[in-house]
Amino acid sequence: MKSYQLFNWKTKPRLVDVPQPTAGPNQVLVKVGGNGLCHSDLHAVDDLCCSPLHLDIELPMTLGHEVAGWVEAPGPGVRGLEIGLPCAITAVGCGQCVLCAQGWNNYCRSRAKQVGMGLDGGLSEYVVAPVGAIVPLHSLAPWQAAPLTDAGLSSYHAVKRVLPLLTPGSSVLVIGVGGLGHLAIAALKAMCAARVIAVDQRPQALELGISMGADLGMLTNDTTAQQILDATAGAGVQAVLDFVGVNSSIQLARQVIRPLGHIVVVGRGGGSIDFTPRGLPYGACISSSFGGSKLELMELLALAEAGRIACRIERHPLSQVDTVFDKLRRNEIIGRAVIVPDGH
């Protein structure tokens, strides 16, 4: 079978022929129906010079962590998953710590190897996943579900963190209408009555944000903060979801957040904040976010299958994965790119 593998750190991955894997105990062999491309994949290829210490990754490794497909063969000891069942693959925790027991597998302190990061991933024709990572699908096609397992889930989790603040008449700012931001807008419109303000540097991205339901779109410039304050009668917004995470986006969030508001920084742009007691309005907070829980993925997939949330997707065959990675590097993907095995 064909797999897109990383052989050495900071080198270009290659599409190679490898044997089809088999599922071991408590594992499931999945026939890949789609794999979403993510900037985290670029980080693994372009930036990492060695394995993260907590994962101890062995190369070669097949890339791709936004995976969905069909159950091909349950491994020994696996029950209740029929061959041909459409499914998505999510990250798993250790299952033993307090955070896992509370349902927050995305914040598990053990940070076990995941499909596409330590375990071979979904830029392939088949992938093996832990049985606990399998989430059944119903009406949603695997190629539609794939980007929801990370991009959609990260956005949905961030939205849920601020949802109690977003009562009717409130406003929320989404900074960065890319692969995650456009899904956050869709989730906001599906889950609350707040007015959604979208900000991005690219006109095409703002057009996407408006098509997903944003009530107001603004190009980033020196007057953006004042425009947001004017649009909220000087009061600012109850919540900010920052999918960029650079210094300028965090500063914009600080300028427009209300007292008792919440800024969630999802983007990994490397920005920072110098905190002082008066650095934010009284009662306001700023937090980081990572992924989402398995339960939240189930909720998100249910919304998608009900037609309440949809991802803007470009589909490309596995044979063109190099070209699509280059488009992602150049920030030319509007929405999310999904790689499917050739012939699908």
* Separate counts of helices (H) and strands (E) for the chain: 10, 18
Q: Give the per-residue pLDDT at 343.
A: 78
- pLDDT of the residue at 61: 94
Over residues 318-335, the mean pLDDT reads 92
pLDDT of residue 310: 92
Res. 53: pLDDT tops 70: no
Q: What is the mean pLDDT of residues 288-304?
A: 96
Provide the CATH number for the domain formed by 2-150+292-340 in this structure.
3.90.180.10
Across 25-54, average pLDDT = 82
Domain 153-288 in the same topology as domain 2-150+292-340 = no
pLDDT recorded at residue 48: 66
> What pLDDT, on a 0 to 100 scale, did the predictor assign at position 168?
96
CB-CB contact of 340 with 320 (8 Å): no
Question: Mind listing the pLDDT tens digit for each residue in 116-151?
Answer: 988 999 999 999 999 999 999 999 999 999 999 999
Q: What letter represents residue 334's amino acid?
A: I
Query: Residue 300 has what pLDDT?
Result: 98
Q: For residue 239, what are its two tokens? A: 């919540």
Residue 102, token pair as written in the block: 């509370």
- Statement: residue 47 has pLDDT above 80: no
Q: How many CA atoms lie within 13 A of 214 on its CB side?
A: 25
Give the rounded percent of residues in the chain with a pLDDT score beyond 70.
97
Q: Which of the four pLDDT bands, split at 50, 70 and 90, describes residue 29?
A: very high
Average pLDDT over residues 268-287: 86
- pLDDT tens figures, 194-241: 999 999 999 999 999 999 999 999 999 999 999 999 999 999 999 999
CB 263 within 8 A of CB 253: yes
Other CB atoms closer than 10 Å to residue 76's CB: what's the count? 9
Kindly calculate the radius of gyration of the chain based on its CA atoms and give it in whole angstroms.
20
153-288 belongs to which homologous superfamily?
A: NAD(P)-binding Rossmann-like Domain (3.40.50.720)
Supply 334's token pair. Answer: 């509007």
Which of 102-106, 277-281, 287-291 is least confident?
277-281
- Domains in the chain: boundaries: 2-150+292-340, 153-288
66-99 residue pLDDT tens: 999 999 999 999 999 999 999 999 999 988 999 9
State the DSSP H helix or E strand holding residue 250, giving kind and residue range, or none if neither: helix 247-256
Confidence of residue 19 (pLDDT cuts 50, 70, 90): very high
